Structure 1
Amino acid sequence: MLIDLDKTLLEINFDEFLKAYFGSLMPKLKKIIIDKDPLNILTVSVDYMINEKNGELNIEKFYKKFTELSKIDEEKSKEVFLEFYINDFPKLGSFGKPAKNGRETVSKLIESGYKVVLATNAIFPEIAILERMRWANVNDIDFELVTTMENMHFAKPHPEYYLEILEKIKAKSDDVLMVGDDLEMDILPANKIGIKTLQYGVDIKDISEIVNLLSKSNN
């Protein structure tokens, strides 16, 4: 069982969240990137991380491109990002809140014996994803896997992201269900490799419906 985080287990206005995220992060980056546009460097580095399939971890790809474009020492960049995620990122929690029945549903699935993966896009570091899990009130749940920049080589919307998850949890595509809100990120790429899907907000309106649907399919 793969479950997305944003707009699935975490209610969030992602556009407003991103505005606040960049608004908070950019002043930090401008202190070390003097003569270039830090937002452009960040955007290009994230795009490179998402689309480059060179066998490196996402975090390695990101800092490789970020260092190349910014000309800033990688360790210095990492210090700035870490300080931001420790001190400033938690303040963005007002943009998110737990989805109705999210925690209860995940707990029931795990109690029923399902391996549950938090399949959030692996373009944020673990520290940021754990913080967003706190906003969703699922931070203390024993997920089989939580995908992050540090442990994934691929990202959504590439089907390879889902193949890598299957490899990590030793599962076959036809034994797995993906639940997420985004057609392009969650549904279509998972379908491409044979994973069954439920689109939250379309196929189901409440996350708790997963339990009933699985119960019916097993009877």
Structure 2
Amino acid sequence: MRKETTDMFTTALFDLDGTLLRMTNEDFFDIMLASYRRMFADLMPVDNIREVFFKVIGEVINHMSERTNEQVFYDGFARYCGQENIAEFRRRLLDYYKNDYGELRAATHPNAEMIEAVRLLKEKGFTLVMATNPVFPDEGVAQRVSWAGLSLDEFDYVTSFAEDRYAKPHVEFFYDILKKLGRDVSECLYVGNDRYEDMAATGTGITTWLIDGYVRTRPDRNFDHSYRGRPKAFLQFVRELPPVR
């Protein structure tokens, strides 16, 4: 599927990991979970930390309650470390983001063409959204954006672990952003590398661009996309977009 009418775009929403920031989730999580094992060995069983971690993240992604994603996250980990230890769990986790999270940078690389595309869209008057999945503490987002060669100051809206109640691939995640910005789906372009989480935006009517290079798929849970190509092709697409009127 290919959308030909692009003169109405006013807003570009970007996934971060694997899209603006070149990385493989497997390498990234291997490093992070090794740190979790060290940090929490005295608070909770860590032999199955990968299973626990992804189970809790799954709960954050799939809940449809009035709780924020942050509340669901800590409620989930409280089942494993105990409610009496959750304050200490949180303190250590936030200390990790402040002091040691930078070790994950070794599993990532910036992409010059995506940096140029973001800045060109900004010059053309687009509203830019950092639409990373808000399922991890916000303290890590600014760092990962900086590893991508960008700054959160370049974005007009950033999804929030502490404030948001939805996550990809649920369409409510995308609708919630558009509601906050006062945008119609016809005005928006969503750019991501995940055929399940990111391309779920097609379910709202948002035009989507699948970035090749670090494409993530699921065996039976992939969505269609409007455009597909490597960062070089996306940059050329951006160059051809008219400025926002």
Q: State the TM-score, normalized to the length of structure 2.
A: 0.81
CA drift of 1:88 comes to: 1.6
Unmatched segments (≥5 aa) in structure 1: none
- Give 2:228's match in structure 1, choosing from 199, 203, 208: 203
Contact preservation (8 Å) 1:174, 1:196: yes
- Give 2:107's match in structure 1, choosing from 85, 92, 95: 95
CA drift of 1:87 comes to: 1.8
Structure 1 counterpart of 2:97: 85
User: What percentage of aligned pairs have identical amino acids?
Assistant: 26
Structure 2 counterpart of 1:51: 62
CA shift in 2, pair 1:20/1:34, >3 Å: closer
**Structure 2 counterpart of 1:214, which letter?**
L
CA shift in 2, pair 1:141/1:176, >3 Å: same
Offset from partner CA, 1:116-162 (integer Å, 9 cap, x none): 10111111211111111111011254201121311321111111111
Structure with bigger helix share is 1
**Secondary structure of the residue that 1:128 maps to in structure 2?**
helix
Contact preservation (8 Å) 1:36, 1:70: no
Counterpart-to-counterpart distance in 1, 2:24 and 2:76: 29
Structure 2 counterpart of 1:29: 40
CA shift in 2, pair 1:43/1:204, >3 Å: closer
**Structure 2 counterpart of 1:69, which letter?**
Y
Counterpart-to-counterpart distance in 1, 2:228 and 2:48: 42
Unmatched segments (≥5 aa) in structure 2: 1-11, 213-226
Counterpart-to-counterpart distance in 2, 1:4 and 1:214: 20
Q: Give 1:62-211 correspondences, 5 Å limit.
A: 62-72=73-83, 73-187=85-199, 189-201=200-212, 203-205=228-230, 206=232, 207-211=234-238
Counterpart-to-counterpart distance in 1, 2:25 and 2:237: 24
CA shift in 2, pair 1:162/1:120, >3 Å: same
Offset from partner CA, 1:62-119 (integer Å, 9 cap, x none): 1112113321433211101111111221111111111122222211211211101011
Contact preservation (8 Å) 2:36, 2:49: no
**Structure 2 counterpart of 1:7, which letter?**
G
CA shift in 2, pair 1:34/1:186, >3 Å: closer
- Structure 1 runs (4+) deviating above 3 angstroms are 34-41
* Number of aligned residues: 217
**Secondary structure of the residue that 1:101 maps to in structure 2?**
helix
Counterpart-to-counterpart distance in 2, 1:35 and 1:10: 29
**Structure 1 counterpart of 2:40, which letter?**
L
Counterpart-to-counterpart distance in 1, 2:174 and 2:237: 20
CA shift in 2, pair 1:7/1:213, >3 Å: farther
Contact preservation (8 Å) 2:22, 2:108: yes
Offset from partner CA, 1:27-55 (integer Å, 9 cap, x none): 11112225985444332221111111102
Counterpart-to-counterpart distance in 1, 2:111 and 2:122: 18
Structure 2 counterpart of 1:214: 241
Counterpart-to-counterpart distance in 2, 1:35 and 1:123: 20
**Structure 2 counterpart of 1:30, which letter?**
A
